[in-house]
Amino acid sequence: MREVEILASQAIGTIAAVLFDLDGTLIDTTALIFESYQHALRTELGTAFDPGALYVGYGQPLPASFRAILGGRGALPADGSADLLVDRLVRTYRAFNVEQHDRLARPFPGVREMLESLRARNVPVGLVTSKTREMALRGLDLMGLGGYFAVRVFMEDSTRHKPNPEPLWLALDRLGLRERLPEVVYVGDSIHDVAAGHAAGVRTAAALWGPFPESSLRELNPTYLLGTPLGVLGLLDRQAS
């Protein structure tokens, strides 16, 4: 896999800003998230799920995530008890996730270097995540990444969430770039990130260092595939050449 693979027919063009997802893109929380899912499922349902069944919910706010996971396995009750079950799963997930966060979260090699270079080049950088503000800030502080973002959009900041474009549009409004959508790149590791970027009208860069299989990301036809975090700088270098 090359550092940068261009899938769309358009040239690199001007890059006015780069927006990033958090989990699986800037911070390696894959083990934390999957262990939190399995702990909640074992605690509330008495069984763990096959890891492949968890991807359908990965990258969405937790209530939607658990609904997708349970629905994919035919385990979502059809009556009013579904809401209660999802609420229990979310509470159990969050308690475990908070307790285990600092032990299981890890840095991705090259992320800090990439963000430092973007700052040195005066490229506006934004964060758009479905994670709660509290836990996102905790992860950013743990990895020393909190000071790089001109805007930050958390789960609480929008009423609709990825793959809906609303969180991305909010970030672009705060950056004053809503009228320059084709000049913005959204970098994310999940299919929901790519779908949200397409819906928002920005260019999309699929981060292959995250947990999603490359084949599932290719199916959504992102603008770029990036093999490492430093691939973001490769886009800028090509823009300048």
Catalytic residues: 21
Give the span between the Cα atoms of 56 and 62, in whole angstroms: 12
- Helix/strand/coil for 187: strand
- Other beta carbons less than 10 A from residue 172's beta carbon: 27
Handedness of CA 115, 157, 226, 181 (dihedral sign): negative
Interstrand relation of 106-107 and 27-28 (parallel, antiparallel or unpaired): antiparallel
Interstrand relation of 224-226 and 203-207 (parallel, antiparallel or unpaired): parallel
Q: Which of 138, 111, 129 is nearest to 58 (CA)?
A: 129
Place of tokens 């769309």: 8
The first and second tokens of residue 66, run together, are: 């658990």
Give the span between the Cα atoms of 54 and 200, in whole angstroms: 25
Q: Which of 56, 62, 122 is nearest to 97 (CA)?
A: 62
